[in-house]
């Protein structure tokens, strides 16, 4: 978990509060991907809380593996599905109850009834303004009709320049990617053969300073890597719906496609179910 330093602290503390309020002791494994905030969290909890009740463990794979070998009464984890599977597998040995808060594919649905100016500003704020897409509530892709897509694209381009100027990569308001591993993961999405020619805005990146510009893609394949996992970065695909069941087809592509943001009703484009 490495979304935003203050958010990471709050999410971690939220779980701790619930546990100690119920009379439990807690061992908190802080994220190695945000070492500064993890170190601060460890320092503050040791300073203000009873170390016999709450302890913070820093470190990476080795420390996490050792923790998972222990028998716990309960494990709570927030993060990726990949790590969630590892934790669930380890918990089976001791029949430890597990709660997993994992990533998904949050999508935004836009049609011609939408107030496009307001909608686009909110999308930009949630996607790029909020830690450059590195947050779980960030819009992962847009669903719109073929006829309305050009207007959505034009509005996004105009508002992005209004937010960050015509050289967004140089903007001091644009967050960097958290580390090289995440940068390479996002780059792999963009460089996939069926996806690279779908970029209609942005796509520039610099590995030396972990910078990826706001990037819009149009009609990427549903079986592409970018549509197969949570993006967690500044890449925003736009998918065009064809016919009455277009949204449902996309919705059923993967099990993770379960978080939905509705901007306006799509009338006959989306069936409620």
SS3 state at 54: strand
Are the CB atoms for 24 and 52 separated by under 8 Å? Answer: no
pLDDT in the model for residue 270: 41
Backbone angles phi, psi at 184, to 5 degrees: -65, -35
Least confident of 47-56, 145-154, 205-214, 244-253: 244-253
Q: Which secondary-structure segment (H or E) carries 56?
A: strand 54-57
The β-bridge partners of 149 are: none
Q: Which of 85, 102, 119 is the last residue of a domain?
A: 102
Give 19's Cβ-side CA count (13 Å radius): 20
**Residue 12 CB burial class (10 angstroms; 0-12, 13-18, ≥19):** buried
Query: What are the C-alpha distances in Å from 273 to residues 65, 193, 208, 248?
Result: 41, 35, 47, 9
Q: Which of 79, 102, 125 is the last residue of a domain?
A: 102
Same domain for 73 and 15: yes
CB proximity list for 2: less than 8 A, separation 6 or greater: 8, 31, 33, 34, 134, 178
CATH number, residue 232: 3.40.309.10
pTM of the shown model: 0.80
* Angle between helix 35-48 and helix 5-21 axes, rounded to 10 deg: 40
- Give, as one character, the DSSP assignment of residue 217: E
pLDDT in the model for residue 251: 57
Question: Could you tell me the two tokens for 198?
Answer: 């779908």
Same domain for 170 and 211: yes
Same domain for 81 and 116: no
Query: What are the C-alpha distances in Å from 195 to residues 45, 138, 206, 221, 223?
Result: 45, 21, 19, 7, 10
Same domain for 33 and 147: no
Rg (CA), the chain: 20
Same domain for 111 and 67: no
Count: domains in the chain: 2
pLDDT band at 238 (very low <50, low <70, confident <90, very high): very high
CATH number, residue 86: 3.40.605.10
Q: Which stretch, 220-234, 236-250, 254-268, has highest mean pLDDT?
A: 220-234
pLDDT in the model for residue 271: 38
Q: Name the more confident of 259 and 154.
A: 154
Q: Which secondary-structure segment (H or E) carries 201?
A: strand 199-201
**pLDDT higher than 80, residue 258:** no
Query: What are the C-alpha distances in Å from 237 to residues 140, 188, 199, 263?
Result: 7, 15, 9, 17
Residues 135-177: pLDDT tens digits?
888 899 999 999 999 999 999 999 999 988 877 667 777 888 9
Residues known to be catalytic: 101, 136
Same domain for 142 and 56: no
Stretch 53-67: mean pLDDT, rounded?
Answer: 93
Same domain for 262 and 128: yes
**Dihedral-angle region of residue 31 (phi above 0 means left; psi in -120 to 50 means alpha; beta otherwise):** beta
∠109-79-11 over CA atoms, to 5°?
95
For 21, the domain range is: 5-102
pLDDT in the model for residue 172: 77
pLDDT band at 272 (very low <50, low <70, confident <90, very high): very low
Same domain for 169 and 200: yes
Q: Which of 41, 70, 102 is the last residue of a domain?
A: 102
Report the alpha-carbon distance of residue 224 to residue 222 in Å, rounded. 6
- Give, as one character, the DSSP assignment of residue 52: T
Q: Name the more confident of 249 and 101.
A: 101
Backbone angles phi, psi at 261, to 5 degrees: -110, 115
């Amino acid at each position: 978990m490495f979304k935003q330093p203050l958010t990471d602290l709050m999410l971690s503390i939220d779980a701790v509060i619930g546990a100690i309020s119920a009379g439990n002791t807690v061992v908190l494994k802080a994220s190695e991907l945000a070492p500064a905030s993890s170190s601060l969290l460890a320092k503050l909890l040791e300073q203000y809380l009873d170390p016999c009740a709450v302890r913070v463990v820093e470190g990476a794979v080795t420390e996490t593996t050792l923790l998972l070998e222990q028998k716990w009464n309960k494990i709570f984890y927030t993060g990726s599905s990949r790590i969630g599977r590892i934790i669930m597998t380890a918990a089976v040995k001791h029949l430890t109850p597990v709660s997993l808060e994992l990533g998904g594919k949050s999508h935004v649905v836009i049609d011609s009834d939408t107030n496009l100016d307001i909608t686009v500003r909110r999308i930009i704020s949630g996607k790029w303004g909020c830690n450059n897409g590195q947050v779980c509530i960030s819009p992962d892709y847009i669903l719109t009709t073929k006829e309305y897509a050009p207007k959505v694209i034009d509005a996004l381009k105009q508002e992005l320049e209004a937010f960050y100027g015509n050289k967004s990569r140089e903007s001091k308001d644009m967050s960097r990617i958290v580390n090289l591993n995440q940068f390479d993961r996002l780059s792999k999405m963009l460089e996939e053969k069926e996806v690279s020619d779908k970029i209609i805005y942005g796509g520039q990146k610099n590995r030396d300073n972990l910078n990826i510009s706001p990037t819009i893609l149009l009609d990427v394949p549903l079986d592409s890597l970018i549509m197969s996992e949570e993006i967690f970065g500044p890449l925003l695909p736009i998918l065009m719906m064809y016919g009455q069941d277009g949204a449902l087809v996309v919705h059923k592509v993967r099990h993770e496609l379960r978080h939905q943001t509705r901007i306006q009703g799509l009338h006959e484009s989306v069936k409620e179910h």
